[in-house]
Amino acid sequence: MKKIEFKGLKLLSFVGILYAILLIFDFENGFISFQNFIGIIQKLLPIFVFIIILTATINYFLKPKQIMKHFGKDSGKKGIFYAVVGGILSHGPMYAWYPMLSDMKNHGLKDGLIATFMYARAIKLPLLPFMVGIFGITFTIIINVYILIFSILQGKIIDTLIDNKFKNKDKKMTENTNSQEQETMACDNDICVKRDECERYRLFKAGAKKYKTHNGKPHKGCGQFIKNTK
């Protein structure tokens, strides 16, 4: 069974200590602040419970392969659709959804779909009638269409930036590795016991211009030995 890890205990302990200090030096304001804290917790608790149940349901019914199918690299338009609809239908503060999004990301959820989900949350269905009453139907339709369009664009931009970052990083690492291998491949150590079996020494004898003298001895080889394949 996977061990349950509780995150944020240090921060919770720190906040608790601050409240204790505040109650000691200013009990009245400290107590008012604590009451406000309890009020916020009471408002957020139903949302947290809902998200915990939703996360547990997702983990139970959707296995990693299924999540990758609907929200992974090859999810396509279906993944975008689910992210937009999920963002519109989600309620409560954004940070309450972070744990679930993080859990789904660990199972393959794309960063771009997370961005789309967050952006689409700007559309609040319960508030649409109120928006229409204040700003009018034309403004409401236009602004919400723009939000939908740019939620998708945001996701595309995030995916592009992150993909390019990793591609450039991998390319740079590959170039560095190849460059290092080319520079240090050959070895001119003619006293190493393994020289006749070593690819590095063969390259040196074949005329490699760049080479090093590794620390092979007449009675033992070095840690840079590469078996000669020719």
pLDDT tens column, 149-176: 999 999 899 888 887 766 565 556 655 5
Separation between Cα atoms, residue 93 and residue 84, nearest integer Å:
17
Residue range 8-59, pLDDT digits in tens: 678 778 888 888 888 888 888 888 888 888 888 887 777 777 767 766 776 6
Q: At what angle do helices 111-120 and 137-184 cross, to 10 degrees?
A: 160
User: The pTM is what?
Assistant: 0.49
